[in-house]
Amino acid sequence: MAKAPKIYTVKVTTIRARGEDRVNEVKGTLEELVDYFGYTLEIGHSYNSKINLHPKTIRGFLSAIQKSSDIKYGCTYTRQYFELV
């Protein structure tokens, strides 16, 4: 019998200089999360080739998405923070 893939919940907190902070939760398997945040991972990887586009673990994913988001919002007043719920 095949093992069911684990479902993760990632809390995304977006902090802006003006306006309200926004908190979203995204649920899915590791593969679904990588697909959902694929554009941000691509941006990070294009500037830093050490950022993994296809992480194998949830910890690796969280590290890659945080680094990619920091690059994406580098010179703006918007910041995103990711954490596993």
14-64 pLDDT, tens digit per residue, is 998 887 889 999 999 999 999 999 999 999 999 999 999 999 999 999 999
CB 65 within 8 A of CB 82: yes
In this structure, is residue 1 part of a structural domain? no
Give the per-residue pLDDT at 17: 80
Q: What is the pTM of this model?
A: 0.87
Q: Is residue 5 very low, low, confident or very high in pLDDT (cuts 50, 70, 90)?
A: confident
pLDDT tens across 52-78, in order? 999 999 999 999 999 999 999 887 888
- State the total domains in the chain: 1
Residue with token string 């294009």: 46
Tell me, yes or no, whether 3 lies in a domain: no
Domain that holds residue 23: 8-84
Question: 46 lies in a domain?
Answer: yes
CB 10 within 8 A of CB 35: no
Residue 2 in any domain: the answer is no
Instruction: Note whether residue 21 is domain-resident.
Output: yes
Structure tokens at 47: 């500037």
Instruction: Give the separation between CA 70 and CA 8, rounded to whole angstroms.
Output: 22
Q: Which of 8, 44, 50 has its CA nearest to residue 25? A: 8
**Per-residue pLDDT at 2 exceeds 80:** no
